Every structure is written in structure tokens, then in C-alpha cells.
Structure 1
């Protein structure tokens, strides 16, 4: 099965959880790590589709501006909101896939156990930072919701972009904690 559609394949023979009727996605053979990675992959795919949509809108806007002197109204606002959401959609999958940039000048030759302990320290730091970002996004979203702030030209409520970004930030925090436990387990060996 190709890897790019693996996120969308579920074991339809798995019995649904009794507390969640219709939970056909619940595959009891998949570890919690696997479930979180599937969720992160699905969120990254949604972010990618959002970027493709923004790209299409930008092309239409540029063509409309130069050919008909009629760009897409509020294209800057839509792009600004969508890019912010997409960035947070990509973070969890990037981190759980170890796709972050890592400079290994000195640690490459160190014992595996020491590197795992160092990775655990990095995971603690990143989990704290991700948790702070998630918290501040929530506070900001509530502030924007209570104030009723909207974009200037289209009048789009800004709080929905904050809440959408909150999904990615929350999942990133979960991924950081998950990787922390994985690194602690590796360093204990």
C-alpha cells in the first residue's frame, strides 16, 4: 500500500469502542504512538490542502488583477489566516517524524544512551515551549472571540484562525510529551 494514503486506511474489521458508537477508525493493533502519528499526518495533509487552496486563490487573484483589474477581494487576509493555520498543522508531523533540523557536531559519536538522555532534555524543553504556545493561543483566541475582532476588508472573525491553530499546537504538545517518554525509555536501557 502506498505510504501517502496509509493515513486514510483503517481496519474496518476492528470492533468499535462501546463508548464511541461508530468508532471504526479504532484499530486495537495500532499503538498510541501510531494513532498520534496518524492524527499528525492527517492534520499535516489538511494543512497541505489548505496551502494548495491558498495557492490556487493567489493564482486566480494575480490573474484577475492583471487581466481584468479585479483581484480576489481580501486575498491578503485569507492568505495571512490560512498560512498561520497551516504552519501549526505541519509542526506535529514534522516533530514526530524527526524531520526537524538537528546539528550533531559532538553528539554523533556519543553513546546511544547519552544521546537518548540528551534527546529527552530537548523534548522536555520543546514540550514546555509547545505547551506555552498552546496556552497563549488559547488565551489569544478567547480574547479575539470576546472582542469580536475581524479582518479589515472581509470582516472574517479572527478567533476561528486562532482556534484552528490551537489544534496543531495542542497536538504538537502531545507529540512532545509522547517523544519525551520514548526518549526516557531509550535512555533507561
Structure 2
């Protein structure tokens, strides 16, 4: 089986979004593997050699940000968030759709404006030359990465999220 066939079989998205979803999940998976290796090296170094991995806490914090924010647009695009539907059974179909649309618009606006503010904070960190305490890694670029992923999340919610609200088959 070719890679393209495998990708089509395992990803429901269409066109370039399929490749973007794969790329973001690949980033999250590689970072998760790196976090696992960092943790293993740190624990073995700490307890066997009495010499922990320097900066492992910083690397873990950066890795967690990379992993979570790489997965967030894909989870949002697929509608994989937790949804509490206690009243859906009792409310009219149109009211439920209206509330879902309102929720999607609030989430989109929140992620968009959050991304704007985070990007500004990243620019300020770069201007000031802020770095991590032990390893001296510039944190501004990671902060801007978080902002960009927040914008992708907002875009995913407003496009496919709203599309799903109006056109998703009830059997799904």
C-alpha cells in the first residue's frame, strides 16, 4: 500500500487539509516521542548516575506547548472536543443548531483574539531577548507558534466547524 493510499484510508479530510492534519499529527507524535526520551534519559541520569539531564524541565515545557498546540487545530477541525448535550433531547432541533453556531462563533472569536494577543507577547519576548533560564533558548518564537496554532484553530472552527453544524448527517 502506498503512503497516499494509507493517508486516504486513515484521514477523512479532503484535499490539502488531509496533508495539514497529517503534518500536525506528525509534529505532535515526534514531540511526544522526544518528550518520552527526555523523561527516560532524565530519570535514568537522576537515579542511576546521580546526574539529571540539564534543562529537562525547560525542554518538557517547550515540548508540551509544541505538542498540545499542534494537535489543537486538528481536534477542533474534527469536532473532537468534549460536548455536554444534556438539553439536546429536550430542545428543538433549530435551537440546538443555533446554540452550536453561537458556541462556534464564540470559540472562533476567542481563539482569534487570543492568538493576536499571544503573538504580540511573542514579538515583545523576541524584542527583549527573553530566553529560558538554563538552556538560553529564545522563547518568543515558541510563543508566536502558539499564536499561529490558535489562529489555525479559529480558522478550523469557523470553516469546517460551522459546516458540520449545518450539514453533518445525524447518523454520525
The normalised TM-score by structure 2 is 0.82
* Contact 2:76–2:161 (8 Å) recurs in 1: no
1:101 to 57, 65, 82: 82
Report the counterpart of residue 75 of structure 1 in structure 2. 56
Report the counterpart of residue 129 of structure 2 in structure 1. 148
Asked if 1:129 corresponds to 2:110, the answer is yes
C-alpha distance in structure 2 between counterparts of 1:69 and 1:142, whole Å = 39
C-alpha distance 180-94 of structure 1, shift in aligned 2 (>3 A)? closer
Deviation at 1:48, TM superposition (A): 2.3
1:86 to 67, 74, 87: 67
Q: Unaligned regions of 5+ residues in structure 1, if any? A: 10-29
The normalised TM-score by structure 1 is 0.75
Report the counterpart of residue 114 of structure 1 in structure 2. 95
Q: CA RMSD in A?
A: 2.8
2:26 to 25, 45, 49: 45
Deviation at 1:82, TM superposition (A): 1.3
Displaced runs of 4 or more, over 6 A: none
C-alpha distance in structure 2 between counterparts of 1:65 and 1:8, whole Å = 43
* Contact 1:113–1:186 (8 Å) recurs in 2: no
C-alpha distance in structure 2 between counterparts of 1:134 and 1:162, whole Å = 10
Report the counterpart of residue 166 of structure 1 in structure 2. 147
C-alpha distance in structure 2 between counterparts of 1:48 and 1:169, whole Å = 19
Query: Secondary structure of the equivalent of 2:103?
Result: helix
Deviation at 1:183, TM superposition (A): 5.1
Moved more, 149-158 or 48-57: 48-57
Query: Secondary structure of the equivalent of 1:36?
Result: helix
Moved more, 36-45 or 84-93: 36-45
Q: Unaligned regions of 5+ residues in structure 2, if any? A: none
Moved more, 114-123 or 131-140: 114-123
> How many aligned residue pairs are there?
164
C-alpha distance 170-8 of structure 1, shift in aligned 2 (>3 A)? farther
